[in-house]
Every structure is written in structure tokens, then in C-alpha cells.
Amino acid sequence: MLFNSLEYFVFFTVVLTGVLALRKYVAARVVLLLIASYVFYASNNGWLILLILVSTCIDYAAGRVIAGSENSAIRKQALAVSVVANLSILGYFKYADFFRQTVADIAGTWGLHLGWVDLNVALPVGISFYTFQSMSYTIDVYRRVIPVERSWLRFALYVSYFPQLIAGPIMRASYFLPQVTRVRKLTTVDVEWGVFLICRGLFKKIVLADFLAVYADRAFTLDPTTSALDLWIGLYAFTFQIYFDFSGYTDIAIGSSRLMGYRIPENFRRPYAALGFSDFWQRWHISLSSWLRDYLYISLGGNRQGTWRTYRNLMLTMLLGGLWHGAGWQFVLWGFLHGAYLVGERLLGLNKVETSGGTLALSVRRLIVFHCIALTWIPFRCADLDDVWTYLGGMFAFSDSEALTRGGALALCVCAGALVFQWASDERRPARRWLTGAVPVKLAAYGAIAVAVVVANAKGAQPFIYFQF
């Protein structure tokens, strides 16, 4: 069930109607949303919904044990059970084949041929997201950051809440659980903001991301006849495709949740307007970067153990962050590049964002950071490391036959326009102006968006990129 499909909006309309009817009945609303969340997940994963139930039961029990004991050994053991169980499930379903192939490749360099059978383990959609979300709860209970949740139903809803279940944002229990017990009051602002975000998300995904996907896919197939110019266009296209695709999903998730009376944290804040790499990670996939910071980087020691250990912690965090995205050495390379950027930025003393420079200086800095980030999307998008080197080599193999097509020019215009918009505006201001704008203007805009979405969606709903993670 895709957010950009008619099936989802029929499903959501039914659920929203039930939620509004039960807005004064907290327990009944929780049961309805939990059932809806399991139906939503099962529509994408079938029997793999059992994995969510296993993680939910383990972490719920671990949280109760941690909160109910003052014995540090028992508390640590309960936390260890939660962390090991979650990472074992994630490790098997996401990385079993990767590690099997890696061991076989290493053995092959020594002349050993392992006759292992490819396990072909099915990857449950969204497992990386809900595993981190569920596991953060037990860590926070252990750290005494939050009180234990005594209702299994409320905790299960936190783990499986359908708007953000498949591709985030990754929520904290301290953010969501207090909302569950409140009587929901839906305001006019909630309705209009929710509708606005859903429409904006659909426009980003269907009109912009899916259009740019044509040029990105064409370039990353690595056809020998693809020109260097087309490879550059493909890189820019994918750079903005993944932004529009992922932030579009987040907009629809936040908008859907807002209409039901629940808040979901923002996940993007004009990432390609970043003035540095630390700044980029405060703007891109904010829920993941803050999770990695709070539960991995700080646990490793953060920046409290001297300069070189800080660099080590940054690099380890980004390497594991890369591996979180996918089971492949190309994702490890992606994480390594971001780790190297963060370390290099600190070495040069550029990790503190300064906005006092002139407009030209800031634009040059943004442009450099943007292109460094764009280059990291090559290993992220390529199928393996061999394709990465092939793509990079092809980008600089210009010939006399290079020609810019009309479609390629349009793709570049879309990318350039999006980049200028991120540089020149505060994304929240246009949103606030929209909410206070004239009704006829808004109705005309919604109509234009509806037409554009219907026309662009003629080939059917396309999956979101982050479903594979």
C-alpha cells in the first residue's frame, strides 16, 4: 500500500473517519489505530508482520524489567536482551546474504571455494526504521530519560504507527507516547496544514521525483553509449529525486498524522542549503542523524575523549550509518565519504556554521558542499563498487558528440530551480503564507496540483526509494 496510491487514500479515509468518531475514547482509538497499522504493514509485508510483534513484545518486556529493578546487573541484562534481539533480527534479515557473500569472496582470494547456498532472505519493508525506534525506547528507559510504558497496546502503537512505519521519521517514545493518552481536538489549522502537507508530498513525489527518476535511471544503467553529459544530468537528477521522493513521503506521513491529531517530527530542513557537512546532517534525515548521534556517537564517547577519538567516533558512526542504509560495500563507501567530510571539516575548523559572510561567499560555500554531497549519491545509487568506478570514469570522458536534449535541459532546470529555492527561502515562510492566503488562490493551486498529479501518475504509483531500507 503506497502513499501515492488510491488504495492508501481509501484506507486512510476509513481510518480517519473512525479516529474522528472515537476522538473522546482514548482506549478505543488506540485499538483502532493499532489494527489499522497492522493491516497497513501486512499489505506490504504479509507474514513478516510477525517480526514487529516479536520486537514489540521483547522491548515492552525489557522496559518493564529495567524500570522495575534497581539492580544494575539485571537492568543491564534486560537492556542487552533488547539490543541483541533487535540487532540479531535486523542483522539476519538485512545482512545475512551480504556477510555470506563477503566471507565467500574473502575465501575465494585464498583459493577456497565455499559452496554456500544463497539464502535469499526476504527484506521486510521498514525493518531498519521500526527496529531503531523500538530499541531507542528501552535505551531511554534504561537511561531514565522516560518513564516505562505500562500499556502494551500504547507501546505497540508507538512501534507500529502506520504513517511513519515504513520510512520514518524515526520517532522517540518521549515525543509520541504522551500524545496517545490525550483527547484529540482537531482544529482548522490541523486540517489545513495536514491537507497542505499531503498535497505538497504528492507533488514532490509524483510530479518532481518520478520525473527526475527517468533521467537518473537512464544514467545509472551505465549503458556504454551514455555520454558524460548525461551522466552529470543523471547525478543531479538523482540528487534531487531522492530528496523529493523521501521528503515527499515524510510530508504525506506528517500530513496524514496531523489530520488524525498526532504530531510527527520534521525530517528535512532545506538540506541542499547546508553551509557544511555537519550542517547538512542537521537538515537531512534529521530523525536518523539525531538517533545516530544520541545512541551511537555519544555512546562511543562523542567528543569527550580527545580529538582523535572524536574523529574515530565520527567515522564509525557514519560507517555504521551507511551500512544501516543497505547491505553492500557501496553503502559502506557512502558512509566513509560522509565520515571523511565530517572529520576533514573539523580538522579545518569549518564545522561551525558562519552566516556573516557576503552573499557570494556563502553561495560558493553552499555550491561546494552541494557538489561534495552530490558525489556521495553515486555509491548510494550504484549496484556495487564496480559500477561506482565506472560511473565516475564516465563522467569525465567527454567527447565531441555531447548534446543536451530537451528533456535533459528540463531536468537541469528543475534541479537548478529547486537548489535556488532552498538557498533563497526559509521553507516555513511559504507554508505560513499559504495558510494565511486567500481561499480562491488556494483552491486554484490545489486544483492545479491535482491535475499535475493525475497526469504525472498515468503510469501508476511508483515505490518510494527508502522502502528498500
Annotated catalytic residues are 325
Q: What is the total residue count of the chain?
A: 469
What three-state secondary structure class fits 157? helix
Nearest to 186 by CA among 8, 29, 34: 29
Instruction: Report the C-alpha dihedral over residues 181, 183, 185, 190, rounded to 10 degrees.
Output: 10
Residue 243 exposure: Cα atoms within 13 Å on the Cβ side: 24
Nearest to 170 by CA among 140, 204, 202, 205: 140
Chain center to CA of 167: 6
- What HEC string does 420-457 produce? HHHHHCCCHHHHHHHHCCCHHHHHHHHHHHHHHHHHHC
Q: Cell match 553561495: residue?
A: 363
Q: Are 201 and 453 in contact (CB under 8 A)?
A: no
Q: Are 411 and 233 in contact (CB under 8 A)?
A: yes
DSSP letters of 294-360?
IIIITTTTTTSS-HHHHHHHHHHHHHHHHHHH-SSHHHHHHHHHHHHHHHHHHHTT--S----S-HH
Q: Are 245 and 204 in contact (CB under 8 A)?
A: yes
What three-state secondary structure class fits 376? helix
Q: Cell match 574473502: residue?
A: 106
